[in-house]
Amino acid sequence: MKFIFAFLAIFTSFTLSAALNSKKILESVAEAYSKELNDTFYYTLNEKPFKEEDLIEKDLSSPVYGPYCLVLKGIPPGTRFSLYKFNLVEMKKPAFRGAGYIDQDGEAWLTYKKTTLKLSSWKDCVQNVYPGEPIFSMVVLNDKKTYITTRVIPRPLEVYGKDGRYLTLEPLTYADPLYLAKGKNFKPQEKFTLSVHSKEEIRTKNLQATQEGTFVTILHSERFNPETYSIQITTDEQIEPMTISYDWKLWNSIR
């Protein structure tokens, strides 16, 4: 988590109001990147279909992902909190979504658009999201010291190899070529080559999985031109490399 926080701190500049602490936002976002599973605060799919009134943008021409709901557990009864939502651009100014509290049974309730409902029943729909883009929700407890963030990726950039190995890629910032590559289901301490192919260059990194068969690495280069590119992973046993391709120029031009 510390190395992710360090990169976020370098490449993300903040101009926040006094209501929110920029360092705590970065720490909670880094924690969200680091945890595969968060048993305190997490997204899950809502079983009920969305209605047009559930959409913030009211644009049915744009694909709708979700609806998602949020689960908040393990917070002491009587605690009050504020809920915020943001993407990588909006991290500088998270959007306030409502105020909530924890009842005597430990259930989280949210007041949203003058309606109070269980947080786990709130239908959160996502639109205008790009491949690999994470969407964050953040709870700030009323002590102003506890920030808890979770994320969901509605359109993941991912690939499974024929042997079960898994590779995923997502941006860490929107303004700089800084991306997080993660893998799992590798053999314990397996060695492999990760290569980045772009119009201007090919860069390679020799990596090794952990004893649990996972890896995390950050890809960054000031010289890297964020156009169409691909990342590939090759091991000694693979017949074909695992490949993810994406046009990051589209991401940067829109953002």
pLDDT level of residue 118 (50, 70, 90 thresholds):
very high
- For the record, the structure tokens of 48 come out as 């009920």
Same domain assignment for residues 165 and 147: no
pLDDT at position 44 over 80: yes
Q: Are 25 and 147 in contact (CB under 8 A)?
A: yes
Give pLDDT, residue 81: 97
Nearest to residue 202, comparing CAs of 151, 157, 241? 241
Same domain assignment for residues 184 and 100: no
Same domain assignment for residues 59 and 85: yes
Same domain assignment for residues 113 and 229: no
Nearest to residue 122, comparing CAs of 85, 147, 91? 85
Give pLDDT, residue 96: 92
pLDDT level of residue 53 (50, 70, 90 thresholds):
low
pLDDT at position 18 over 70: no
Element (H, E) at 31: helix 22-34
Neighbours of 217 (CB within 10 A): 13
Give pLDDT, residue 78: 96
pTM over 0.85: no
| Alpha-carbon Rg for the chain in angstroms | 19
Q: Could you tell me the CA-to-CA distances from 138 to 30, 70, 97, 233, 237 in Å, in that order?
A: 12, 10, 10, 33, 42
Per DSSP, the three-state class of 186 is coil
CATH number of 212's domain = 2.60.40.230
User: Per mean pLDDT, which range of 33-37, 47-51, 62-66, 198-202 is the poorest?
Assistant: 47-51
Residue 72: phi, psi to the nearest 5? -125, 120
Domain boundary among 152, 186, 202: 152
Same domain assignment for residues 164 and 245: yes
Same domain assignment for residues 162 and 147: no
Q: Supply angle C-alpha 119, 46, 73, rounded to 5.
A: 40
User: Per mean pLDDT, which range of 94-108, 180-194, 207-221, 230-244 is the poorest?
Assistant: 230-244
Same domain assignment for residues 100 and 179: no
pLDDT at position 62 over 80: no
3-state secondary structure 120-146: HHCCEEECCCCCCCCEEEEEEECCCCC
Q: Could you tell me the CA-to-CA distances from 210 to 142, 184, 185, 190, 194 in Å, in that order?
A: 39, 9, 10, 8, 15
Number of separate domains in the chain: 2
Domain boundary among 152, 178, 211: 152
* Mean model confidence pLDDT for the chain: 80
pLDDT at position 31 over 80: yes
For helices 22-34 and 2-11, angle between their N-to-C axes, nearest 10 degrees: 130
Distance CA 40, CA 52 (A): 30
Same domain assignment for residues 148 and 35: yes
Nearest to residue 140, comparing CAs of 53, 22, 14, 60? 22
- For the record, the structure tokens of 239 come out as 């017949």
User: Could you tell me the sign of the dihedral formed by the alpha carbons of 184, 186, 191, 196, in that order?
Assistant: negative
Q: Supply angle C-alpha 60, 62, 68, rounded to 5.
A: 85
Give pLDDT, residue 227: 56
Same domain assignment for residues 148 and 161: no
Same domain assignment for residues 76 and 106: yes
- For the record, the structure tokens of 222 come out as 């000031």
Same domain assignment for residues 143 and 64: yes
Same domain assignment for residues 28 and 122: yes
What type of residue is 227?
E
Domain residues for the domain of 87 are 2-152
Domain boundary among 128, 152, 176: 152
- For the record, the structure tokens of 216 come out as 């995390």
Query: What is the mean predicted confidence (pLDDT) over 206-220?
Result: 89
**250: buried, middle or exposed (CB in 10 Å: 19+, 13-18, 0-12)?**
middle
